[in-house]
Amino acid sequence: MAKPSWITWPVSTEADGNAAAPLKRQILISITPPDGTVKGTHSIIAVWTPKYGTNKQYTAITFKVDCQVASFTKPSSAPTSPTFTLAYSIFDKPLEINVTSLGYT
């Protein structure tokens, strides 16, 4: 599977980690997960091309993408019936709350 567009490599600001040209060692990747569709565990399979020795395909990094609600707008009084009172609870563990009925931005 090809590298998705939300993963950038190489990172343009990274300096060459090699002692000498012409190979250029750049091992930073930039990850910008766009939305919950990429939630899950991902592995980057890379090919290492050394100056000496044979090429090596290996797992360069494994990372996990997750989602969190950063903010939402508390609804004002319901414009129409039914009206309800909104309460917030803080849990010490992740909890999925169905907020489909809430208006948010």
Partner 1 sequence: MTLTNTPTVPKNSAFLGGTSSSFAPVDANDKVSFTITVVDPCKTTTVNAIVITGAGSAGSYTISVTDGNTGTFTFVRPTTTVETDTGIASVCGATSYTIHKDNAGGTFTFNAAWAVITGPDSTGKYTLTIDTTKDLTLIANEASMTYNLFIKAKLNDYTADTREVYTSVAVVINSATCDCSPLAWDDPSSAGVDQTATSIMVSATATEKTMAMPAANTSAKNTQPAFEKCYLNGGSCSLDGQVSSI
Q: Which residues bind partner 1 (CB under 8 A)?
A: 3, 8-11, 18-20, 23-36, 38-39, 41, 44-56, 58-68
Q: With contact defined as beta carbons under 8 Å apart, do 7 and 34 qualify?
A: no
To partner 1, the closest distance from the beta carbon of 16 in angstroms equals 9
| Nearer CB in complex with partner 1: 50/103 | 50
Q: With contact defined as beta carbons under 8 Å apart, do 14 and 28 qualify?
A: yes
Q: Which residue has the tokens 């190489």?
A: 10
To partner 1, the closest distance from the beta carbon of 32 in angstroms equals 4
* 3-state SS, one letter per residue, for 1-22: CCCCCCEECCCCCCCCCCCCCC
To partner 1, the closest distance from the beta carbon of 94 in angstroms equals 11
| Nearer CB in complex with partner 1: 65/75 | 65
| Nearer CB in complex with partner 1: 54/80 | 54
Q: How far apart are CA 97 and CA 84, in angstroms?
A: 16
